[in-house]
């Protein structure tokens, strides 16, 4: 198997340095030396006398670090699912939310937020309901499309139909149940303000496993790009591969959505940027766009929590502001080359 | 587009069923109560009311059917005994209990113009200018007063205004005096010389109110120091800032946001278990119940309130 070790290692190094920088910036100023001491002390590498306030330790270990890591794995998951869907549907406009994941998750979160009185129950229940809403919607989409011979077009169309129905229900519930829509809107816009290690432990395994699966089947993504007859002549069971891609990417996206909300643009744009730089081989695109997605989201989140200090802005706004111009620049560049 | 269509259709169905359910009971109570109120009729019509656009709205005679698209105004009207004049409200009105029976003709985002016309109101009161044009086009008398965003002492002005409009100034003066007494009473119980405890008001998800909001002013009145003192309006506060500013009290609908997050364990409100939830929505409606809300908050902070 050809794997782009060189580029992967290089981009991992970039990702790691960006994560380190992100951990050292924040609205509360803590010097890099102190951060280093706090982390080494926590890892119990060497005994250091504690010379910093306990609040610094909370901020570094329980706010910034989980936040940076959560942003990283969510970026990875969204970007890889985006790339997988683009390969599967041979459509550059496919994004991780194409099969109704976002609208399914949004509907079930809206139901929980507007219909239940007990608010502490709501907070604990949101990730579970987002995840299950997303999975139910994708399953419905897939089931309906297989009834119609399961071509990729019917899959997309039934995805759009399911998304429209769930969106209509969401709008209805939003308009007629709860006067305070701020929390709901802030979940829908996505963000990492309440990131915790527990959340990483819960969604990390899903994202890890489905990332490994995506990378190991990435050579088939190239074969899918051929038309169906050709790929079948090469001995590929396209139906089976498609099913694996749909299930795998859906779980990946649903995990990303469950705590972070719906963060747009990352999954659409990262695979394109990588494709523009490294060409159309999915063995490159899958791992590299995953790492690039992580970089983009970690950067955006760092900006979103520092730029309007002491206020947070939804990270989805920044991914678009940040990724959009870069994407346009790449588009202009490729056109000139042609 | 598709969404809008479906939403509108569903709204129509709901709206129709509410009309059918509410129409009959409402007219009866109107006739019963109007006799009692006549003795308080102290206003000489026509009167001019200054709206939030700075224009005078002239009201020629005592309005008998009012559409009130504002929770605070509904509460004021019921409190001065004029609740029976209300023939339509918006769907977020929760108080008083009787107000729930009134037909709903709109919500925060839209109004149902046909249902409003059907009620043949003498006056339509709105808090959001967007609807004014549509209503004016249909020859309805519109009074637009922005919802109070700050300076809650204006609540008593609004009470007096409603007294004037409905020709019920005696009860309005009584109510507004009661309101001011309650506020003064609260002020008298506070020792403004003592150090003010730090407080964080969480609406949900770390969204909070800055100093130039009604909540910000309530905190000032109660000699509490708002840790979100440098934001304007409403915003989501960064969790690091909450840890650094270390509030002594946290008011939140979801205590678990703070209790279960390891990052917040060093905050003194969490350590001393000073995380509370407000039981009533009085502080979110700038109406006659507002002082009750202030008292509720005060009783959570000051043990011998």
Beta-carbon separation of A27 and B240 below 8 A: yes
Sheet containing B207-209: order of strands? A311-312, B234-237, B207-209
pLDDT in the model for residue B41 = 54
From the list A55, A122, A196, the residue facing B266 with the nearest CB is: A55
Give me the DSSP letters along A255-290: HHHHHH----SHHHHHHHHHHHHH-S-HHHHHHHHH
Show Cβ contacts of residue A263 under 8 Å, excluding neighbours closer than 6 positions: A74, A78, A190, A191, A256, A297, A315, A316, A319
Q: Residue A112: which pLDDT band, with cuts at 50, 70 and 90?
A: confident
Beta-carbon separation of B246 and A196 below 8 A: no
pLDDT in the model for residue A121 = 64
Q: Residue A150: which pLDDT band, with cuts at 50, 70 and 90?
A: low
Q: Residue A222: which pLDDT band, with cuts at 50, 70 and 90?
A: confident
Give the three-state DSSP class for A190: coil
Window B:106-135, CB contacts with A under 8 Å: 107-110
Q: Residue A193: which pLDDT band, with cuts at 50, 70 and 90?
A: confident
From the list B234, B244, B261, the residue facing A55 with the nearest CB is: B244
- Chain B residues in contact with A23 (beta carbon < 8 A): none
Positive or negative, the CA dihedral A70, A75, A78, A84 is negative
Q: Residue A141: which pLDDT band, with cuts at 50, 70 and 90?
A: confident
Beta-carbon separation of B263 and A179 below 8 A: no
Q: Residue A23: which pLDDT band, with cuts at 50, 70 and 90?
A: very high
pLDDT in the model for residue B21 = 41
The CA distance from B288 to B83, in Å, is 14
pLDDT at B10 over 60: no
Most confident of A75-89, A144-158, B13-27, B98-112: A75-89
The pLDDT of B210-236, averaged and rounded, is 93
Query: What domains, with CATH codes, occur in chain A?
Result: 5-337 (1.10.3470.10)
The CA distance from B90 to B105, in Å, is 6
Supply angle C-alpha B40, B45, B51, rounded to 5: 105
Q: How many CB pairs under 8 A join A and B?
A: 121
Least confident of A68-82, A229-243, B20-34: B20-34
pLDDT in the model for residue A143 = 84
The pLDDT of B174-185, averaged and rounded, is 94
The CA distance from B25 to A310, in Å, is 52
pLDDT at B18 over 50: no
Looking at domain B190-301, its CATH superfamily turns out to be Nitrogenase molybdenum iron protein domain (3.40.50.1980)
Most confident of A273-277, B257-261, B291-295: B291-295
Beta-carbon separation of A171 and B2 below 8 A: no
Average pLDDT value over all residues in chain A: 84
Task: Return contacts of A124-130, CB within 8 angstroms, 24+ apart.
Answer: A124/B256, A126/A187, A126/A258, A127/A199, A127/A202, A127/A203, A127/A258, A127/A259, A128/A258, A129/A105, A130/A105, A130/A254, A130/A257, A130/A258, A130/A261
From the list B91, B107, B238, the residue facing A311 with the nearest CB is: B238
* Sequence ranges of chain B with CATH classification 3.40.50.1980: 2-176, 190-301
3-state secondary structure chain B: CHHHHHHHHHHHHHHHHHHHHHHHHHHHHHHHHHHHHHHHCCCCCCEEEECCCCCEEEECCCCCCEEEECHHHHHHHHHCCCHHHEEEEECCCCCCHHHHHCCEEECCCCECHHHHHHCCCCEEEECCHHHHHHHHHCCCCEEECCCCCCCCCHHHHHHHHHHHHCCCHHHHHHHHHHHHHHHHHHHHHCCCCCCCCEEEECCCCCEEECCCCHHHHHHHHCCCEECCCCCCCEEEECHHHHHHHCCCEEECCCCHHHHCCHHHCCCHHHHCCCEECCCCCHHHCCCCCHHHHHHHHHHHHCCCC
pLDDT in the model for residue B252 = 92
Write out the residues of chain A at the interface with chain B, using a CB-CB cutoff of 8 A.
Answer: 26-28, 54-55, 58-59, 62-64, 119-120, 122-124, 164, 167-168, 171-172, 175-176, 179-180, 182-183, 186-187, 191, 193-194, 196-197, 305, 308-313
Beta-carbon separation of A168 and B228 below 8 A: no
The CA distance from A57 to A67, in Å, is 14
Residues B28-42 have pLDDT tens digits of: 333 334 444 444 456
Pairing type for strands B234-237 and A311-312 reads antiparallel
pLDDT at B294 over 90: yes
Contact A85, A289 (CB under 8 A): no
Largest CA distance in chain B: 64
Q: Residue A64: which pLDDT band, with cuts at 50, 70 and 90?
A: very high
Give the three-state DSSP class for A311: strand
Which DSSP state fits A173? Answer: H
- Chain B residues in contact with A175 (beta carbon < 8 A): 7, 11, 107, 109-110
Contact B56, B48 (CB under 8 A): yes
Q: Residue A178: which pLDDT band, with cuts at 50, 70 and 90?
A: low
Buried b (16+ CB within 10 A) or exposed e, B153-168: eebbebbbbbbbbbbb
From the list B230, B255, B263, the residue facing A58 with the nearest CB is: B263
- Chain A residues in contact with B246 (beta carbon < 8 A): 55
Residues A241-298 have pLDDT tens digits of: 888 888 898 889 888 888 888 888 888 889 988 988 888 889 989 999 999 999 999 9
pLDDT at B304 over 90: no
Give me the DSSP letters along A55-76: HHHIIIIIIIHHHHHHHHHHHH
pLDDT in the model for residue A297 = 94
Least confident of A75-84, A313-322, B174-183: A313-322
Query: How many angstroms away from the CA of B298 is the closest CA of chain A?
Result: 22
Residue of chain B nearest A61, judged by CA positions: B263
- Chain B residues in contact with A64 (beta carbon < 8 A): 240
pLDDT in the model for residue A145 = 82
Query: How many angstroms away from the CA of B74 is the closest CA of chain A?
Result: 16
Give the three-state DSSP class for A309: coil
Beta-carbon separation of A180 and B204 below 8 A: yes
Buried b (16+ CB within 10 A) or exposed e, B252-274: bbbbebbeebebbebbebbeeeb
- Chain A residues in contact with B70 (beta carbon < 8 A): none
Residue of chain A nearest B2, judged by CA positions: A164
CATH, domain range B2-176:
3.40.50.1980
CA B124 → CA A252, B74, B106, B293, distances in Å?
Answer: 51, 12, 12, 28
Window B:18-37, CB contacts with A under 8 Å: none
The pLDDT of B229-243, averaged and rounded, is 92
pLDDT in the model for residue B25 = 39
Best mutation target, B69, B89, B204, B264, to test chain A (most A CBs within 10 A): B204
Residues B52-106 have pLDDT tens digits of: 888 888 888 888 999 999 889 999 999 999 898 999 998 878 888 888 888 888 8
Q: Which of residues B296 and B100 earns the better pLDDT score?
A: B296
Best mutation target, B110, B263, B271, B283, to test chain A (most A CBs within 10 A): B263
């Amino acid at each position: 198997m050809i794997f782009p070790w060189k580029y992967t290692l290089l981009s991992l190094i970039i990702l790691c340095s960006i994560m380190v920088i992100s951990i050292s910036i924040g609205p509360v100023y803590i010097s890099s030396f102190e951060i280093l001491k706090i982390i080494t002390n926590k890892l119990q590498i060497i005994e250091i006398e504690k010379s910093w306030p306990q609040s610094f330790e909370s901020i570094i270990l329980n706010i910034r670090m989980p936040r940076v890591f959560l942003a990283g794995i969510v970026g990875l998951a969204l970007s890889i699912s985006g790339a997988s869907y683009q390969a599967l549907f041979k459509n550059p406009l496919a994004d991780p939310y194409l099969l109704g994941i976002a609208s399914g998750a949004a509907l079930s979160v809206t139901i929980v937020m507007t219909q239940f009185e007990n608010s502490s129950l709501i907070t604990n229940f949101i990730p579970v309901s987002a995840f299950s809403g997303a999975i139910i919607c994708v399953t419905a989409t897939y089931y309906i499309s297989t009834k119609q011979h399961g071509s990729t077009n019917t899959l997309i169309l039934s995805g759009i139909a399911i998304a429209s129905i769930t969106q209509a229900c969401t709008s209805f519930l939003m308009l007629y149940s709860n006067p305070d829509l701020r929390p709901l809107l802030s979940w829908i816009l996505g963000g990492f303000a309440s990131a915790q290690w527990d959340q990483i432990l819960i969604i990390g395994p899903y994202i890890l496993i489905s990332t490994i699966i995506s990378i190991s089947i990435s050579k088939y993504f190239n074969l899918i790009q051929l038309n169906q007859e050709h790929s079948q002549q090469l001995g590929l069971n396209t139906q089976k591969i498609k099913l694996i891609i749909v299930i795998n990417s859906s779980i990946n996206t649903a995990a990303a959505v469950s705590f972070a909300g719906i963060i747009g643009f990352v999954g659409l744009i990262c695979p394109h940027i990588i494709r523009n730089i490294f060409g159309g081989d999915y063995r490159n695109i899958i791992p590299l766009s995953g790492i690039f997605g992580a970089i983009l989201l970690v950067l955006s989140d760092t900006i979103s929590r520092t730029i309007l200090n002491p206020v947070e802005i939804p990270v989805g706004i920044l991914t678009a502001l940040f990724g959009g111009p870069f994407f346009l620049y790449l588009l202009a560049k490729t056109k000139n080359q042609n | 587009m598709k969404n809008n269509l479906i939403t509108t259709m569903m709204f129509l169905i709901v709206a129709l069923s509410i009309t059918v359910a509410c129409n009959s009971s409402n007219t009866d109570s109107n006739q019963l109560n109007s006799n009692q109120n006549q003795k308080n009729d102290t206003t000489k019509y026509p009167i001019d009311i200054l709206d939030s656009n700075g224009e005078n709205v002239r009201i020629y005679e005592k309005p008998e059917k009012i559409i009130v698209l504002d929770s605070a105004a509904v509460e004021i009207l019921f409190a001065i005994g004029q609740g029976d004049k209300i023939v339509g409200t918006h769907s977020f009105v929760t108080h008083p209990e009787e107000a729930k029976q009134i037909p709903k003709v709109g919500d925060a985002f839209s109004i149902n113009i046909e249902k409003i016309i059907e009620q043949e109101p003498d006056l339509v009161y709105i808090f959001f200018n967007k609807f004014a044009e549509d209503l004016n086009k249909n020859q309805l008398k519109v009074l637009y007063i922005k919802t109070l965003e700050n300076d809650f002492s204006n609540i008593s002005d609004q009470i007096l205004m409603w007294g004037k409009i409905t020709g019920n100034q005696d009860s309005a003066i009584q109510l507004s005096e009661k309101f001011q007494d309650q506020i003064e009473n609260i002020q008298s119980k506070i020792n403004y010389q003592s150090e003010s405890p730090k407080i964080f008001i969480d609406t949900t998800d770390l969204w909070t109110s800055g100093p130039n909001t009604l909540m910000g002013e309530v905190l000032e009145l109660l000699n509490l120091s708002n840790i979100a003192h440098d934001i304007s309006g409403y915003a989501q506060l960064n969790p690091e800032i909450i840890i650094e500013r270390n509030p002594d009290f946290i008011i939140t609908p979801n205590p678990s946001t703070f209790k279960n997050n390891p990052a917040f364990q060093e905050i003194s409100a969490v350590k001393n278990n000073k995380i509370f939830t407000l039981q009533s929505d009085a502080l979110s409606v700038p109406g006659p119940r507002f002082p009750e809300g202030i008292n509720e908050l005060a009783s959570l902070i000051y043990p011998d309130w």
